[in-house]
Amino acid sequence: MTIEPSKEAQFKQRFISVVADLRQNGLNDPEAMAHIGGLAVELSDALNQKSWVAVKQSMTPATYDELLATFQKRGTEYHKDGRTKLAYAIQLLSVSLVAFTQRSDADIAAGENLVDQLIDQAATRYRQVRPKH
């Protein structure tokens, strides 16, 4: 009889994998970084927050659930459509969002801090280079 790992353990494995891929590949991909920054800016502007971290801190449980469901739906759609860089950006914001609920794990807390810093840096860069309307 095999025992399935808990949802928390499964997430931790996925989170570690996403962070490792980010370090190895994502940081060196300007298009992916632009998507990450753009999504973070779009969400922070929509929720009247100054950063991705502030978005997460201000989120109600209902907003969290809605955003996570939207990320899952759009991420799947983008992946199927071959829009892998956008799907990658959504995946990163998704794992950051879920990590917020699993901070009691020291490894996830440390990784979340790293990911959130990167997301907010990408958002700052995006704000600097985006066309002004």
Distance (Å, whole) CA 69 – CA 75: 10
Please report the pLDDT score of residue 109 as a whole number: 92
Please report the pLDDT score of residue 1 as a whole number: 64
Distance (Å, whole) CA 100 – CA 73: 20
Please check whether residue 39 is in contact with residue 88, taking contact to mean a CB–CB distance below 8 angstroms.
no
**Residue spans per domain, the chain:** 30-129
Distance (Å, whole) CA 91 – CA 19: 11
Distance (Å, whole) CA 76 – CA 107: 27
Please report the pLDDT score of residue 3 as a whole number: 81
Retrieve residue 90's tokens.
């959504």
Please report the pLDDT score of residue 71 as a whole number: 95
Please report the pLDDT score of residue 133 as a whole number: 58
Please report the pLDDT score of residue 35 as a whole number: 95
Where residue 83 falls (left for φ over 0; alpha for ψ -120 to 50; beta otherwise) is beta
Please report the pLDDT score of residue 55 as a whole number: 95
Please report the pLDDT score of residue 24 as a whole number: 86
Please report the pLDDT score of residue 97 as a whole number: 95
Distance (Å, whole) CA 10 – CA 86: 23
For the chain, which ranges sit under pLDDT 50? none
For residue 128, give every residue at least 6 positions away whose Cβ sits within 8 Å of its Cβ, in sequence order, or none.
none
Please report the pLDDT score of residue 5 as a whole number: 83
pLDDT in tens, 114-133: 999 999 999 999 999 876 65
